[in-house]
Amino acid sequence: MRVLFLVVVIFLSAPASLAEEIYVCPMHPHIHGEQGETCPVCGMTLVPQAAQPPAKPAKANATGQSAVQISPDFMQALGVRTAKVEERLLTQRVQAFGEVVPSSRNALALSMRSEGWITDLRANAVGDTVSKGDLLFTYYSPEIIAAQVDYLTVAATESRQERAEQRLRLYGMEDKAIAEFKARGKVIEQMPFYAPFDGTVTELPVRKGDYLQAGELVLGLQNFSQVWVNAAIALRDLPLIEIGQHAEVRNPATGRRYNSTVEFIHHVADPVSRTGIVRLALPHDMGDPKPGIYVDVEFQVNPGARLAVPSEALLYDRQGAYVFLALDEGRFQARQVETGVSSEGYTEILAGLQQGQRIVTAGQFLIDAESRLRSGMSRMEHMGHGDEAAGSSPGNSMEAHHAH
């Protein structure tokens, strides 16, 4: 063991002329050989080790690695390229899933205000389309008939007629039916009810001849000229969304795309999915997109000019993201960075770099491996020197003296 240790020490302290006779692989420096041989791993021709200057000592940075110096030949073999750290206009894209739902602003639930019977039902199926003013159904109600009789029998004073007409409205008579009643001057037994707007029947729990009590639903009517998209946004992206912001909605079933804007941001987040709901408004042309389907939503967020680097330059470990900073004289040093938004191949740098510095964008993986390899070899060398110093201790000298 002592002889082997002396050989290692002699090799580590050998002169430069001896080191020049050693050939190594440019991609795998731990592979040694003779002139003309190739690397068994990658097949590259071995080059003199003298072409690869030893790493200069440098203070370790946040990643625990020191600066590594690489010769121009080795840099060319690694394909090292650099880029300048500079400000760029980043446009972030926030993507989300959304559900198409009917607009509650264009919905009507028609319920009766007095008991009676459905005598005729014109809109008799869910999905029927009606226009404003179309007859929906007729209704026979003793209370509505009594209110009409009271209106006809009151004295012809304006105040009493107003109270009588107010009673007609109280029982649910519409303006069109009241005008028809006044024009006829006699009781309408089967009171007509008309569509207040263009729409589609979405609920119909009754049939012709059904008896209803006050408060029971006759039908639900929905205008589908406009629909809503409720998009679920991740909480980390929610602060980037603003009312009036542009968004693009895509129907994955048909491939159609729609332009929309943010109409409302709900104040309460979903505690289960950890998302916030953002509402968009869309025209419902030719029945598309249909309520009930899911769509893809993309928001374009412009955070402005930010310090950024190419995303390909970033490396990651357990401590987070880091890049290799290109220093002078072919030296490179790992630098821990804090990243922000990413867009179009660039990533925002929040901390760790300054404008004008140069970072490695190609070959950084091999530089990282070389840096770690040299760091490990340097530690082994220090351990070797420590053992050599221990070998020259008084106890060892005494042992050598007894050997003589």
Q: How high is the pLDDT of residue 371?
A: 64
CA distance linking residue 279 with residue 276, whole number of Å: 10
Helices (H) and strands (E) in the chain, counts: 8, 25
Q: How high is the pLDDT of residue 66?
A: 62
Q: Under a CB-based contact definition with an 8 Å cutoff, are residues 245 and 261 in contact? A: yes
Q: How high is the pLDDT of residue 388?
A: 47
CA distance linking residue 254 with residue 231, whole number of Å: 19
Q: How much of the chain exceeds pLDDT 70, in percent?
A: 74
Most confident by average pLDDT, 41-50, 227-236, 312-321? 227-236
Q: What is the mean pLDDT of the chain?
A: 78
Higher pLDDT, 294 or 393: 294
CA distance linking residue 67 with residue 58, whole number of Å: 6
Q: How high is the pLDDT of residue 351?
A: 86
Q: How much of the chain exceeds pLDDT 90, in percent?
A: 31
Q: How high is the pLDDT of residue 394?
A: 40
What mean pLDDT do residues 3-19 have? 40
Q: Is the pLDDT of residue 396 over 50?
A: no
CA distance linking residue 192 with residue 176, whole number of Å: 9
Helix, strand, coil tally for the chain in percent (to 5): 25, 40, 35
Closest Cα partner for 365 from 80, 71, 84? Answer: 80
Task: Quote the distance between the C-alpha of residue 215 and its chain's center.
Answer: 46
Which DSSP helix (H) or strand (E) runs through 232?
strand 226-234
Q: Under a CB-based contact definition with an 8 Å cutoff, are residues 132 and 198 in contact? A: yes
Q: What is the pLDDT of residues 100-121, one digit of tens each?
A: 999 999 999 999 999 999 999 9
Specify the pTM.
0.56
Most confident by average pLDDT, 93-107, 311-325, 341-355, 385-399? 93-107
Q: How many CB atoms lie within 10 A of CB 217?
A: 14
Q: Is the pLDDT of residue 243 over 70?
A: yes
Q: Is the pLDDT of residue 383 over 60?
A: no
Q: What is the pLDDT of residues 74-103, one digit of tens each?
A: 667 667 778 888 877 777 788 899 999 999
Q: What is the pLDDT of residues 192-226, one digit of tens each?
A: 999 999 999 999 999 999 999 999 999 999 999 88
Higher pLDDT, 257 or 24: 257
Domains annotated for the chain, with CATH where assigned, are 94-103+225-303 (2.40.30.170), 111-220 (2.40.50.100)
Q: How high is the pLDDT of residue 155?
A: 59
Integer angstrom CA distances of residue 390 from 3, 381, 395, 400: 15, 14, 9, 13
Q: How high is the pLDDT of residue 391?
A: 47
Q: How high is the pLDDT of residue 403?
A: 36
Q: Is the pLDDT of residue 27 over 70?
A: no
Q: How high is the pLDDT of residue 70?
A: 67
Q: Is the pLDDT of residue 29 over 60?
A: yes
Residue type at 245 in one-letter notation = Q
Q: Under a CB-based contact definition with an 8 Å cutoff, are residues 251 and 289 in contact? A: yes
Q: What is the pLDDT of residues 246-270, one digit of tens each?
A: 999 999 988 899 999 999 999 988 8
For 123-134, give one letter per residue: b (16+ CB within 10 A) or e. Answer: beeeebebeeee
CA distance linking residue 57 with residue 197, whole number of Å: 82
156 band by pLDDT with thresholds 50, 70 and 90: low
